Amino acid sequence: MRHRTLLAAIVCLWPLDSSAELNVSIATFDPGVPEDYSLHQDLDVFPKIREIESLFLPFVLREALVDAGDWGAVRVVPESDDAAELLITGAIVHSDGEKLAVSLRAVDARGEQWIGASYFTEGNYEDLFRRFVDDLAGIRDSLDDRTLNGIVNLSLMRYSAELVPDAFSEYFEQLPEGGHRLVRLPAEDDPMMARVHRVRSVEFVMTDAIDEKYRELHEEVDSVYEIWREYRRWYADFKVREANRNELRESNAARGSYEQLRSVYDNYRMDRLAAQEQDKWIVGFNNEIAPVIERMDERIAEMNGWVEDGYVEWTRILGELFDIESGLD
């Protein structure tokens, strides 16, 4: 799988003449945790678990895209990149271990939105993402090769313009209604373009290394996350059973009797004990996963720092080269 991704990354460094396999960037999801703490209980939001899910679920989507087989390089990235050929962003709307609802949006380099919808599942999370991938493929298949190649080329021009604005900002234009349009392409033997390709290839290697970190996270979290989901299913079932049991018990005791008072108190007591047990599970989840995420964050920060430092340097060097070659100096 990794070899295929790397191969796809290398192949996709250059604009494609034939049918284009779009590269896809998946930004880590918005955990969807409301700032108002008092809403967490009502909405069944567990902030720490959501943070983990926001890093973990994009990889499940990535796998669904890779399994579909007709996409270019698919990468999970820490931040959105508007110039990506196809950028997918997501926000967790609901996740309680049993049910999952994710709002997903796919936008191409032109700024055209392919999909902006919420997906819901009560079963396998993979199914949710497979449905999204099917919808995505449907839209892609409705576009002709010229449009798809145009997206690839526009993405490359936008990337190039970020590196060397003076050399590339005229190859596309920003539309008044929003979005971008490709105007023309540089010559095939443009030396600056060749340099941009080299820079981009280095950046892709780093992006793939970062993507690899999300894969590792997925591997480490997957089994623990399954235990959490199993527990949540049990908890939901327990709540239903408790509600039924309490209904039967309450109806038997005389009002104001000790049995009635004890029953009312015990119902609350059992509910709180179960909720407090759940809190322990959340702490346990976090205890187990937090060090993994900490290690991953450190590594990604290092790699991002390296890319950003390099980026500043590349921009400077390429800018100077452009000035020399265009005779502006």
Partner 1 sequence: MTHRITAILAILLLGACAAPGPVLDTTNPSFVGDMPVDFSGSWERDYSRGDDVRGTLNSIFRAQQRQNQQQSQFPGGPRATPSLSPRDGNALVALARLVDEITRPDVLTITQNDFEIRVARKDDFDLSCSFFDGVAQGTDSAYGTEVCSWDGESLISHLVLPGGLTITSRFTMSADGNYLRVITTAKSSATRTPFTQHRYYIRFEAPPNAFNCIETLSMKRVCSTGEVAP
* Binding residues among 218-237 for partner 1 as defined by CB under 8 A: 223-224, 227-228, 231
- The nearest distance, CB 120 to partner 1, in angstroms, is 24
Binding span for partner 1 by CB under 8 A among 25-33, 158-166, 260-268, 308-316: 260-268
- The nearest distance, CB 28 to partner 1, in angstroms, is 22
Say whether 6 sits in a helix, a strand or coil: helix
- The nearest distance, CB 282 to partner 1, in angstroms, is 9
Exactly one of 14, 238, 281, 311 binds partner 1 (CB under 8 A); which one?
281
268 near partner 1, judged by CB under 8 A: yes
Exactly one of 117, 175, 273, 312 binds partner 1 (CB under 8 A); which one?
273
Exactly one of 123, 191, 291, 305 binds partner 1 (CB under 8 A); which one?
291
Say whether 305 sits in a helix, a strand or coil: helix
- Of 224, 228, 248, 247, the residue nearest 236 (C-alpha): 228
The two three-digit tokens of residue 195, written as one number? 């340099």
Tell me the C-alpha to C-alpha distance, in Å, between residue 318 and each of 150, 156, 171, 293, 322: 25, 16, 17, 36, 6
Rounded CA gap, 222 and 227, in Å? 9
Residue with tokens 């029953």: 263
Amino acid (1-letter code) at residue 287: N
Q: How many residues touch partner 1 (CB under 8 A)?
A: 38
- The nearest distance, CB 275 to partner 1, in angstroms, is 8
267 near partner 1, judged by CB under 8 A: yes
CB-wise, 169 or 263, nearer to partner 1? 263
Exactly one of 203, 216, 288, 323 binds partner 1 (CB under 8 A); which one?
288
246 near partner 1, judged by CB under 8 A: yes
Q: Taking the mean position of all CA atoms in its chain, how far away is CA 74? A: 11
Binding span for partner 1 by CB under 8 A among 35-43, 59-67, 74-82, 307-315: 35-43
Rounded CA gap, 148 and 264, in Å? 64
Rounded CA gap, 233 and 243, in Å? 16
- Of 298, 307, 72, the residue nearest 206 (C-alpha): 307
- The nearest distance, CB 286 to partner 1, in angstroms, is 9
The two three-digit tokens of residue 113, written as one number? 């939105």
Contact between residue 105 and residue 96 where contact means Cβ atoms under 8 Å apart: no
Exactly one of 4, 198, 233, 262 binds partner 1 (CB under 8 A); which one?
262
What's the angle, vertex CA 24, arms to CA 296 and CA 101, rounded to 5? 75
Rounded CA gap, 49 and 275, in Å? 16
> Which residues of this chain interact with partner 1, rule CB under 8 A?
37-38, 41-42, 223-224, 227-228, 231, 243, 246, 255-258, 260-262, 264-265, 267-273, 275-276, 280-281, 283-285, 287-288, 290-291
